[in-house]
């Protein structure tokens, strides 16, 4: 089968960009991919999760693997590129083309490091709004994403409700619980405990790979259901042929080890800090209730109440213990109270939080029906 | 109220001690406490958990806090020192007086570090058997413990079944699941990722505090129920007055930070590695079925089948997601199949795995009844 080749583009914004925290970025790069040609009623904005990027579907030239949600995006798929135009961009604070802590600070000519200002989920969607304006897109048929992508989805839908007809929020939450914050905090601590982190100044040197790897290992435990982990790995062992008894022995140890090593090759430790910080500080209800800041972009509390008929879809997974179904039901309740007609589907699966990436057919059926209705 | 003062004693064993792994320790120290005077039918052996020690009850001279299970052990308490004689010893591989990786290796005159051989739960109970022999104790009314203490409890009860009349196993498992191994492995990795760990050779220098602290933080997430964490901390914040945005802000972050810092002051990182390794490798059914090794101590498969009337009690906690009630039921099933009359109680609590340390009154009622019957 012939592969569709795509490429990530970079939009350079050469004007100041004001952030939620009050600070201003002097300029901004936005990495994005666009599949199809925008029309007033065909654009779907896809939001990625913590470790995702703009490359949501198809293949980059020479790559063996397609984009992170290729199972969901393409001809005839859940987000059908024969019918819809898809946009996806890398988040602010990320490390895949959009400005983040590894980017060059124009004021110093060196990477920002910890001089990069803290970013919020709202900042991320503001950047997307800027991108859409540049692309001439003024209306969205839908905004959709899972996990942190679900948070951006809700924030975008609320802040720019006049633009949006619908949203699809998968395996996400209105805000993090103490336990969800705790898991992220331990990951951050693992990174900051690595001397190579060096208060965020490690660019051009060896990066804090050991710390970032531990952070990713913690993440992977929470992404997988206990049952699936037991079924896949149980107490199986690989042979132990090393002098050090604390090298991985159990299969689950090897799996986590592999995931940690693979991750540090493709992700920046500071971005991990900034993005998880944005996730933990996300609190949709507080965010849209705060009237103190409106930046003339038609946002704020008024906007969400000024809605033409809109609808939402919330999807959760039975075995997702990181973003359990109970948090999905809170989302449904919240949006229905805002008169957004929001439906709910709980998919029966053993794949835990990862199901938003792996359980393609179940999601496809539901999403196709939702988008067609 | 007058405080009962106790002190940890050290038993020096100046002969080789053979381990499960085939290696031999040239000598052995065993740290223990004894409350009362042993008689043929009054001794209860208490087994401690990962971070516990021999100091189970009462006060050390000058201490503000009593032993780790003081709520359960004392006059009129669950383990009533007016009726029973209590023994508790620090585990092999630990860092509270019993020989472990921080102890001096007689062969080199320096701390063992990673030259310390791997130890098993079986080794731990073998050491306790040696201690009991020294104390002239040949029969136990009961052996009891929670978490890793429950593993030792079961191992001791099976390996030395002729000595034991009963066991009480609290919040434990016959063996670790993949997820339980995974949490321990990430903790180990955090320690080993700390350059100060230095392949286990850090004695006399700064220890790998940052890594051990991260390991302890991970542990604390799993010890607390999600509900209790939410109730105690939720999304509450302390003021943020530091330049670094990644210092703790949320109350839950401060709590974990505090727990991490407190732990590194009292625990050895190598002991954390050795003990969690023993926990992950514990597999009671495989252990007692292995006939390849008997060391003339009346152990092995035969012993557990040669039981005079014995009974067991298994306690679990509804909100314990680290050692869930389902694993307690597996223990009940296992021992009943061995004709050990084993009863089961599930305590309704929000305190998670920590309940074995905190939920004193509910446990007291059940344990008193069990010991009296």
pLDDT in tens, A273-327: 999 999 999 999 998 887 433 333 444 434 555 556 899 999 999 999 999 999 9
Q: Which residues pair with B29 in a beta bridge?
A: B12
A177 with B211: Cβ contact below 8 A: no
| C-alpha distances out from residue A80 to A86, A167, A336, Å | 9, 16, 27
Residue B39 annotated among the catalytic residues of the structure? no
Q: Does domain B5-176+283-372 have CATH number 3.30.70.1520?
A: no
Label residue A1 by pLDDT band (50, 70, 90).
low
Yes or no: say if B307 and B340 are a contact pair by the CB < 8 Å rule: yes
Cβ–Cβ contact B277 with A under 8 A = yes
- Which residue of A lies nearest to B113 if distances are taken between CA atoms? A244
Q: What is the mean pLDDT of residues B76-96?
A: 98
Selected catalytic residue, list B20, B80, B320, B354: B320
DSSP B307-349: --S-EEEEEEETT-SSS-HHHHHHHHHHHHHTT-EEEEEEE--
ipTM: 0.93
Yes or no: say if A178 and B227 are a contact pair by the CB < 8 Å rule: no
Dihedrals phi, psi of B187, to nearest 5 degrees: -60, -45
Q: Are A5-176+282-372 and A180-275 in the same CATH fold?
A: no
Q: Which residues of A touch B269 (CB under 8 A)?
A: none
pTM: 0.94
Which of B131-135, B243-247, B260-264 bottoms out in mean pLDDT, i.e. has the lowest?
B243-247
Q: Does domain A5-176+282-372 have CATH number 3.40.50.1820?
A: yes
> For residue A230, is pLDDT > 90?
yes
Domain ranges of chain B: 5-176+283-372, 180-274
Q: Which residues of B touch A248 (CB under 8 A)?
A: 185
Buried b (16+ CB within 10 A) or exposed e, A60-79: eeeeeebbbbbbbbbeebbb
> For residue B322, is pLDDT > 70?
yes
Q: What integer pLDDT is reported at residue A244 of this predicted model? A: 67
Considering the domain B180-274 in this protein, what is its CATH number?
Answer: 1.10.1740.110
Residue A41 annotated among the catalytic residues of the structure? no
Nearest to A69 by CA among A61, A353, B355, A77: A77
Yes or no: say if B356 and B169 are a contact pair by the CB < 8 Å rule: no
Nearest-by-Cβ selection for B245 from A118, A176, A256:
A118
Q: Which residues of A touch B221 (CB under 8 A)?
A: 179, 182-183, 186
pLDDT in tens, B254-278: 999 999 999 999 999 999 999 999 9
Alpha carbon of A5: minimum distance to chain B alpha carbons (Å): 38
Q: In the structure encoding, which two tokens stand for residue B97, read together?
A: 């007086």
- List of residues 6+ apart from A299 with CB closer than 8 A: A159, A160
Half-sphere exposure of residue A66: CA atoms within 13 angstroms, side-chain side: 15
Q: What is the mean pLDDT of residues A235-243?
A: 73
Q: What integer pLDDT is reported at residue B240 of this predicted model? A: 60
How far the first Cα of chain B sits from its last, in Å, is 31
Yes or no: say if B349 and B360 are a contact pair by the CB < 8 Å rule: no
What SS3 class is residue A116? coil
Considering the domain A180-275 in this protein, what is its CATH number?
Answer: 1.10.1740.110
Residue A320 annotated among the catalytic residues of the structure? yes
A199 with B244: Cβ contact below 8 A: yes
Element holding B270 (H helix, E strand): helix B269-281
Q: What integer pLDDT is reported at residue A242 of this predicted model? A: 54
**To the nearest whole number, what is the mean pLDDT of chain B?**
93
Token pair 């905190």: residue: B358
Calpha distance B275→B280 (Å, rounded): 9
Cβ–Cβ contact B190 with A under 8 A = yes
Q: Which residues of A touch B251 (CB under 8 A)?
A: 178
Is the alpha carbon torsion for A183, A189, A192, A193 positive or negative? Answer: negative
Max CA separation in chain B (angstroms): 67
Element holding B306 (H helix, E strand): none
A181 with B235: Cβ contact below 8 A: yes
């Amino acid at each position: 089968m012939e592969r569709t080749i795509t490429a990530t583009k970079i939009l350079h914004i050469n004007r100041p960009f004001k952030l939620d925290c009050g600070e201003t970025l002097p300029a901004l790069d936005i990495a994005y991919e666009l599949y199809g040609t925008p029309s007033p009623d065909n654009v779907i904005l896809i939001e990625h999760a913590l470790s995702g990027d703009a490359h949501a579907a198809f293949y980059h030239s020479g790559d063996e693997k397609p984009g992170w949600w290729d199972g969901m995006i393409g001809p005839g798929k859940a987000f059908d590129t024969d019918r819809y135009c898809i946009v996806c961009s890398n988040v602010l604070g990320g490390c895949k083309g959009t400005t983040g802590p590894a980017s060059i600070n124009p004021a110093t000519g060196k990477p920002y490091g910890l001089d990069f200002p803290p970013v919020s989920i709202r900042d991320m969607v503001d950047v997307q709004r800027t991108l859409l304006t540049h692309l001439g897109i003024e209306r969205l048929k839908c905004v959709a994403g899972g996990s942190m992508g679900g948070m951006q989805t809700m924030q975008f839908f609320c802040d720019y409700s006049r633009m949006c007809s619908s949203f699809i929020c998968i395996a996400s939450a209105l805000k993090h619980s103490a336990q969800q914050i705790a898991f992220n905090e331990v990951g951050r601590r693992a990174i900051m405990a690595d001397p190579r982190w060096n208060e965020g100044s490690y660019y051009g040197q060896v990066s804090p790979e050991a710390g970032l790897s531990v952070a990713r290992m913690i993440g992977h435990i929470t992404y997988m259901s206990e049952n699936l982990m037991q079924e896949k790995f149980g107490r199986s062992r690989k042979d132990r042929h090393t002098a050090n008894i604390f090298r991985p022995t159990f299969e689950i140890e090897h799996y986590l080890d592999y995931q940690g090593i693979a991750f540090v090759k493709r992700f920046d430790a500071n971005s991990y800090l900034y993005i998880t910080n944005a996730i933990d500080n996300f609190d949709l209800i507080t965010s849209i209730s705060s009237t103190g800041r409106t930046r003339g972009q038609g946002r704020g509390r008024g906007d969400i109440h000024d809605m033409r008929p809109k609808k939402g879809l919330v999807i959760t997974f039975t075995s997702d213990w990181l973003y359990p179904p109970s948090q999905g039901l809170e989302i449904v309740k919240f949006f229905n109270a805002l008169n957004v007609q929001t439906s709910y589907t709980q998919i029966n699966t053993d794949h835990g939080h990862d199901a938003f990436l792996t359980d393609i057919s179940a999601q496809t059926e539901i999403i196709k029906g939702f988008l067609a209705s």
